[in-house]
Chain A
Amino acid sequence: MRPSPSPRVTAYAGLTAIFLFAALALRRPELAVLALPFALPLGVGLRLARAPSVRVQVEVERATALEQDELEVELTVSSDAPVERLELVLVVPEGLEVVSGANAQSLRLGWEDERTLELRLRCVRWGNYQLGDIRLRARDRLGLTVWESRLDRKQRLRVYPLPETLRRIVRPVSTQLYAGNEVARQKGEGMEFADLRLFAPGDRVRSINWRASARRDELVVNERHPERNADVILFLDTFADARSGERSTLDLAVRATATLAARYLERRDRVGLVSFGGVLRWLTPGMGSTQRYRIVDALLESEIVFNYAWKDVSVIPARVLPPQALIVAVTPLLDDRAVEALADLRARRYDLAIVEVSPVGFTEPGQSEADKLAHRLWVLRRDEIRARYERLGVAVASWSDDAPLDAVLEGVRAFRRHAQISRV
């Protein structure tokens, strides 16, 4: 621990000198007596001060948690020699908050003493956190010397975003070759009835529809839709976000993306991730629970990085965007680069659906008439962007945190149903 004198030392030394010099100058022993209470503690205290050896261990109840979860953190403080006053602060990162106990405490330790401090933290926001940044300050009995140190007992804590309730998802237009839960548009071996056709050599006998054959007086077989999986790319826009207090569009977007990833992976779809922003990050499509954790871990690293470089979809590796993949974009539609990139993806004939995390609720129109007009123009421009996507056949659902994601996605599904009929 690094020692430093407390402000008392120089003050008491100065007072002692002043009173003693005054005593000598005025030849008054009473002034020497005034110096006594400042001189004696100083001499004795500095002589007896010994650097404390304090050990601190940090234990976090678990390494992973969900948003709004509470978890216990245990600090074990021990020392061989007495410490009159040990001030201990566990720095709690932004995004976590102390529910009970105190992260800043003062202790008095005796000979070979050990204390355990317990505190309860609430995970307010998703993210990757490092717990264990501890600041120590020890004082001697007379408060003349201060020892300070900083300990780094790294304990990693991953707080996953709270999943949204989502019963139904946006179904892809095209499916892939592997078996899955999505009823394909193609005909083949499957469960779902598709159509009837005349028997052809090579058809299995069990596929003959005897009832229909009896009516038509010729052999008719059932055709079925196979169940296939789909490729789904979750496109997270991290160019910009709107923030109000502790809420931000990025928080909502990450929560929605994590929920969508989980739901698609449950259906045995291959899911990939593109975090398109100041820093481009991607995950190639994959299946299973491993992919789910990879996606969520990647989402925890999401942050807004300001970057003025123009980016389009050509910077995304081709293998990340498989042909006929469904792209679900989660974006606040605040940055023109993201807006253009999505239009570009549609132009490349990707099946695209957009969940717009609305930034309107995060902004205030302002007081002056000019501010109000500017706000109205901004809202109108956003409407125009949405209308532009709809003209391109892209469903856009506007989501704010006061509405369930399920209801918002229902709007996307309805739009896509309508679009399919109009194409036929």
Chain B
Amino acid sequence: MAGAVGTGAWLAVIAEDGYLVRATLLAAFVAAALLAGGLVLRKPLVIPGAICILAAPYVAALGFEIDGIDTRAPLLAALLFAVAELAYWSLELRGTLADEPGTYLRRVALLAGLAVATIAGGTVVLAVVEGVAARGVAIDLLGAAAAVGAIALLALAVGKRTG
């Protein structure tokens, strides 16, 4: 919850347009409320919805405000990921189970590691994109094909696991 509110606040701070600031704050409030409801009612389905709502103002900012590559994207990605993971963990760790000592520490360490990897990986991706941005339509098409391929591979993996 605090992560969602903090992320929303940070997005509001970096937004320049007044209308976008208000929209960001509203989105953060809605996302936090949705997350709170989902956690109280133990409905994990609301978590991706809250993440989408939280990220929506940034998508709008990318479309209308920000020109060029925004280097804050890896940080935002790590924050969104942290919010999602913390929400899932709060659902998993709730209950009458007695946890072994060190469980929380290990989880926090894993989350921190994944967040750092996200920032590092995102920065590399952005650097690569910036480097190849001027190479023309072929590179654009290659990127699009890579994105579609990634989605297809994930869909296959998920379908195999859930099927």
> Considering the complex, which residues of chain A in the window 1-55 have a beta carbon less than 8 Å from any beta carbon of chain B?
3-24, 26-43, 46-47
Residue pair A37, B103 in contact (C-beta under 8 Å): no
Report B44 CB to chain A, min CB distance, Å.
Answer: 4
Residue of A nearest to B93 (CB): A106
Known contacts A16-B150, A33-B126, A39-B150: A5-B73 contact under CB 8 Å: no
A36 touching B122, Cβ below 8 Å:
yes
Nearest to A115 among chain B residues (CB) is B100
Minimum C-beta distance from B142 to chain A (A)? 12
* Docked complex Cα distance between A36 and B129 (Å): 14
Inter-chain contacts of A33 with B (CB < 8 A): 73-74, 77, 122, 125-126
- By a CB distance below 8 angstroms, the chain A residues around B62 are 26, 28, 30-31
Which chain B residues in 59-82 approach chain A with CB under 8 Å? 59, 62-63, 69-70, 73-74, 76-78, 80-81
Contact in complex: A46, B52 (CB < 8 Å)? no
User: B154 near A16 (CB under 8 angstroms)?
Assistant: yes
B residues 39-61 touching A (CB-CB < 8 Å): 44-45, 47-48, 51-52, 55, 58-59
Structural contact, A13 and B155, CB atoms closer than 8 A: yes
List the count of A-B residue pairs having beta carbons below 8 Å apart. Answer: 149
CB distance from B91 to the nearest CB of A (A): 8
Judge if A108 is at the interface, Cβ distance under 8 Å.
Answer: yes
Interface size of B by Cβ–Cβ distance < 8 Å? 56
Which A residues are CB-close (under 8 A) to B162? 4-5, 9-10
Q: Which residues of B contact A22 (CB under 8 A)?
A: 59
**Is B108 in contact with chain A by the CB < 8 A criterion?**
no
A29 in complex: contacting residue of B44, B103, B126, CB < 8 Å:
B126
Which of B52, B115, B122, B154 has a CB less than 8 Å from the CB of A42? B154
Check if B161 is an interface residue, CB within 8 A of chain A. yes
Q: Mark A101-115, 1 if CB is under 8 A from B, else 0.
A: 010111110000000
Distance of A16 Cα from B77 Cα, bound (Å): 11
The winner among B51, B69, B97, B162 for most chain A CB atoms within 10 A is B97
Are B121 and A36 in contact, CB atoms less than 8 angstroms apart? yes
B151 within 8 A of A: yes
Q: Smallest distance from the beta carbon of A14 to chain B beta carbons, Å?
A: 5
Is B144 engaged at the interface, CB distance under 8 Å to the other chain?
A: yes
Among A14, A15, A106, A143, the residue within 8 A (CB) of B100 is A106
Residues on A with beta carbons closer than 8 Å to the beta carbon of B78: 37
Q: Find out whether the CB atom of B44 lies under 8 angstroms from the CB atom of A7.
A: yes
- Chain B residues with Cβ below 8 Å from A104 are 95-98
Q: Closest B-chain residue to A89, C-beta based?
A: B97
In the complex, the answer to whether B52 meets A108 with C-beta atoms within 8 Å is no
> In the complex, what residues of A have CB within 8 A of residue B158's CB?
5, 9-10, 13, 42, 46
Cross-chain contact A46 with B100 (CB below 8 angstroms) = no
Residues of B within 8 A of A294 (CB): none
Question: How far is the CB of A383 from the nearest CB of chain B, in Å?
Answer: 48
The answer to whether A105 touches B98 (Cβ under 8 A) is yes
28 contacts between A and B (CB under 8 A): A3-B161, A5-B161, A9-B162, A11-B48, A12-B48, A15-B52, A17-B155, A19-B55, A20-B151, A26-B62, A26-B63, A29-B69, A29-B125, A31-B73, A32-B143, A34-B73, A35-B150, A37-B77, A37-B114, A38-B84, A42-B157, A102-B98, A105-B98, A106-B97, A106-B99, A139-B92, A141-B110, A144-B161
Residues of B within 8 A of A (CB): 44-45, 47-48, 51-52, 55, 58-59, 62-63, 69-70, 73-74, 76-78, 80-81, 84, 88-89, 92, 95-100, 103, 106, 110, 114-115, 117-118, 121-122, 125-126, 129, 140, 143-144, 147-148, 150-151, 153-155, 157-158, 161-162
Contacts A37-B121, A40-B117, A40-B121 supplied; 4 other A-B pairs, CB < 8 Å: A28-B63, A29-B125, A107-B100, A108-B103
| Interface, chain A (partner B; CB < 8 A) | 3-24, 26-43, 46-47, 85, 87, 89, 102, 104-108, 139, 141, 143-145
